[in-house]
Every structure is written in C-alpha cells, then in structure tokens.
Amino acid sequence: MYLYMNGELVRREEAFISPFDHGFLYGMGLFETFRTYNGHPFLLDDHLERLNNSLNELNIHVRYTREEIIHALQLLLKENKLGDAYFRLNVSAGIGEIGLQTEPYDHPNLIIFAKPLPPRNPLQEKRAVTLRLKRNTPEGFERLKSHHYLNNILAKREIGDSPNCEGIFLTKEEFLAEGVVSNLFWIKDHILFTPAMETGILNGITRQFVIKLANFIGMDIQEGFFTVDQALEADEMFVTNSIQEIVPISSFDGKEMPGVSGAKVKALQKLYEQQCTGLWSRKDV
C-alpha cells in the first residue's frame, strides 16, 4: 500500500516523520476524511475550505488547492489499484524545538492515506446509546478536526467494537452533542432537529450537506440545545459522516426507531446518492 507524502508516493512501511514533529509532540495537526464515487472526491471543496481555515487557526502556513489534492488522489488510486477509496488527508505542523511554539509553522507534513471501501449496504442501520463519558469542550473557540482525539477513543472503548452501535455524547449539562464519529439528527413531523454548534460539536461536512438537502425538500431545521427525552419523541433518527453517509438509527437508548424503513431518511438518502458522483461543494446544490 502506498501513501502520498509531501509530493511523493511512499510505501507505507517506508513512511516516517520526525519525533520532533509538533503534530506528534503537541497534537498540532489536522485531518479530513472523505471518499470517492466513480473517482470523484465528493464535497472536496468543502473539506479543503474547512482544512485551510483550521490550518490558519493553528498558525500552520500552507493552503491546499483542489488541483493539488486531486493529483495526489489519482496517483493513490492508480498505484494502489483501487477503483474508489476511503481517504484520510493529514497535515501535521512539522519539526520544531521541544517547547510550546508561538511563531508560525512553515514546513508542515502532508500525508494522504487511502484504503479500500467496504461494499455499500443499503440496509445498514445502527442502534444508538448515550455515553457515560461526557463530550469534552473544544480546545479553542470551536472544535477543529484535529489530532486531539482522546475523548473519542475513550468513548469508543466504552461502547466496544461493534460496527452496528454508535455512542452519543452528552455535554456536561446533559444536552445532546454528537456521536463518537458522527453528527446526530432526528425528525419529528416535518422538522429536522440537530444539536447546535454551541454544544461543542464538530461542524461535519456531511452535517452541513444534509441540512442543505433538508432545506431543499422543504423541511424546517432546528439547531439547539436538546435533551435525551426530546430526542426519544422522534419519528426517525439518523447519524452522518463522510464515509458512512446517512445511517438510520434502529433504536435509541433501547427505544425502537424506524431505522431503514423511515420514509424521510430514505428521501434524504436518495437525494444524497443523486449528488455524490459530481458535487464539489454543498454550495452548488
């Protein structure tokens, strides 16, 4: 398996970074995960916009363009003999001295990983359970998709390895936040509910796209501070991320939900599938 590292293809067993890289020493790094559909990197412009904004926030002086990343993805697909793939685009700050650095990072490391995708399963659904572990607050003013992932790792340990279960974080005030690797939505009547950014969640790219789709089909959107009891009244529930897409929930804290049979979730999934082979940004919907 090949990785793309700083402009070159590198065999995975030959890929190394310095122990002085501040992505390793201090967690100064960011990543984006996305997938291709018939070779098209779905919503790549949105992922790069978030990445470049976050790089600026971390004082890492680099910006990545669509053309640069597409070139890397095409090389990875070809050399790894993949039709489509799961990609992780990772940027670490680069080498620095031991100690907290305030000046900009001018020589970051770019690594793009590719791995095969499992077959798409139209009947995929998950059960959701609230976690005992609370969602930590963002390290800065808003949550970045950064290397700081201990809260998520501990949550995953709490729920175990089952691929059919998603843990749902609550804030310390007991408001719903997000999943271990997903954003949370539920539907009541014609309203789509999702926790507000102010709960400390990551503003997922698929989250933003689904909100745009729901608006497109005339649903009302309510972002806010919601309790478990409010979500338990839902007609339908689902979680989202860029790899698993829109995943219906079959039960929430033991209460049965429609799962894959939910009519509104089905409608959103159909719209999603119609867009994923050609769309660069949710702004183009």
Both 103 and 197 in a single domain? no
Tell me the one-letter amino acid at 132. Answer: R
Q: Phi and psi for 185 in degrees, rounded to 5?
A: -140, 155
Q: What is the token pair recorded at 10?
A: 């590198």
Predicted local distance difference test score (pLDDT) of residue 66:
98
- State the residue range of the domain holding 95: 2-115
Are 145 and 176 within one domain?
yes
- Residue 138 sits in a domain of what CATH number? 3.20.10.10
pTM as predicted: 0.96
Statement to judge: residues 227 and 256 lie in one domain? yes
Q: Is residue 32 in some structural domain?
A: yes
Residue 201 lies in a domain: yes
Q: Are 177 and 169 within 8 A, CB to CB?
A: yes
Domain finish residue from 115, 147, 170: 115
pLDDT confidence band for 71 (50 / 70 / 90) = very high
Residue 122: closest CA among 277, 265, 2: 265
Q: Is the domain of 60 the same as that of 139? A: no
Q: Quickly state the pLDDT bin for 120 (edges 50, 70, 90).
A: confident
Number of domains in the chain: 2
